[in-house]
Amino acid sequence: MTTAASLSPAESTSSSAVDQLRAGLEDFGRRDQQIARYVIDHAEEIPFLSAGEIAESLAVSGAAITRFAQRVGFEGYPHLQRVIRQDLRATLGMKQPGSEDSVVARFWASEHANLEALQDIPEARLLAFARAIAAAKQVWVVGARSSYGISLLAETILASFRPHVRAYSADLLLSRPEQLLEVTPQDVVVAFTLRRYSRATTRMVRALHKQGVQVLLITDQGASPLSKVAHQCLQLPTHGTDVLASLAPFVSVITLLASLVAHELEGGHLKQAEALNADFGVYEY
């Protein structure tokens, strides 16, 4: 069998690992082509996948993944994985601000385009999301870093209409895994992911999935590592300005889902909650 061509040090500094694999694909043997195509197609998931998980997906041995990485010029799979992670950080990380000219105009143009694109999400998919949230025994809302802020907003809005909604920081959940003992198969987890994808969110949501929880994923237009375990997925446009991705689509979809949940529950416990707010004088007016 023809083996994969080794990558020279000069090549490894001139382009990304995925670009190098793509360029050398035709020179690889049949099995190495299979592995290379998997790495190319799942590049954004590779930092989260072990060699064993890739081997299981391709029905090959873990040693085959290691040998492939070595044949294409890396010390082993962890080295290949590390280089791909660095490549992704370079391309998906926060950009430096550009010139100030037309920053405001570009911002509103991108926000407008994102919100228009949201209208392409099928109504049936949104209804299915809302019905799963409405029917769940408990709703685990999980995110990390900026996505955790989105999770807190989702908790606040959804808790107005149904009980047992709780936002969790994926990082804190990892430090207290005993909370998984509270999980039931009747629960759902609403997971928020936004590039760069948090390893903590990936690990925790996969753990919840193994407990039998239904996974509802709300993510950006990238290749979230959780897309394979998600029972339902909403991919939102997040094109932003030079520096930051847009969060407006997440806020809009959360608000819409809460409205649909309220409709499913015929208002839920909103009236009782408002009565308690009045009794305790929560609001000035």
**b or e along 144-154 (b: 16 or more beta carbons within 10 Å of the residue's beta carbon)?**
bebbbebbebb
Residue 96: the pLDDT is 53
Q: Count of CB atoms within 10 A of residue 41's CB?
A: 11
pLDDT at 9 over 50: no
Please indicate, yes or no, whether the overall pTM of this predicted structure exceeds 0.75.
Answer: no
Mean predicted confidence (pLDDT) in 111-132: 94
Mean predicted confidence (pLDDT) in 209-230: 90
Whether the Cβ atoms of residue 185 and residue 211 lie closer than 8 Å to each other: yes
Q: Which amino acid is present at 104?
A: V
Mean predicted confidence (pLDDT) in 42-59: 88
pLDDT at 82 over 60: yes
List the structure tokens of 269.
């416990």
**Per-residue pLDDT tens for 155-200?**
999 999 999 999 999 999 989 989 889 999 999 999 999 887 888 9
Closest CA to 193 of 237, 155, 225, 156: 225
Residue 101: the pLDDT is 58
Domain 106-279 has CATH 3.40.50.10490: yes
How far apart are the C-alpha atoms of 34 and 276, rounded to whole Å?
60
- Write down the residue that tokens 């928020």 correspond to: 192
Mean predicted confidence (pLDDT) in 246-254: 95
Residue 13: the pLDDT is 42
3-state secondary structure the chain: CCCCCCCCHHHHHHCCHHHHHHHHHHHCCHHHHHHHHHHHHCCCCHHHCCHHHHHHHHCCCHHHHHHHHHHCCCCCHHHHHHHHHHHHHHHHCCCCCCCCCCHHHHHHHHHHHHHHHHCCCCHHHHHHHHHHHHHCCCEEEEECCHHHHHHHHHHHHHCCCCCCEEEEEHHHHHHCHHHHHHCCCCCEEEEEECCCCCHHHHHHHHHHHHCCCEEEEEECCCCCCCCCCCCEEEECCCCCCCCCCCCHHHHHHHHHHHHHHHHHCCCCCHHHHHHHHHHCCCCCC
Residue 105: the pLDDT is 81
pLDDT at 45 over 60: yes
pLDDT at 48 over 90: no
Mean predicted confidence (pLDDT) in 236-260: 88
What CATH class has 9-92? Answer: mainly alpha
**Per-residue pLDDT tens for 95-117?**
555 555 577 888 888 899 899 99
pLDDT at 1 over 50: no
Residue 253: the pLDDT is 97
Q: Considering the chain, what is the average pLDDT of its residues?
A: 87
Residue 93: the pLDDT is 53
Locate the domains of the chain by residue range: 9-92, 106-279
How far apart are the C-alpha atoms of 237 and 248, rounded to whole Å?
9
Percent of the chain beyond pLDDT 70? 89
Which of 12-21, 207-216, 243-252 is most confident?
207-216
* CA distances (Å), origin 166, targets 96, 139, 151, 190, 241: 35, 6, 9, 10, 31
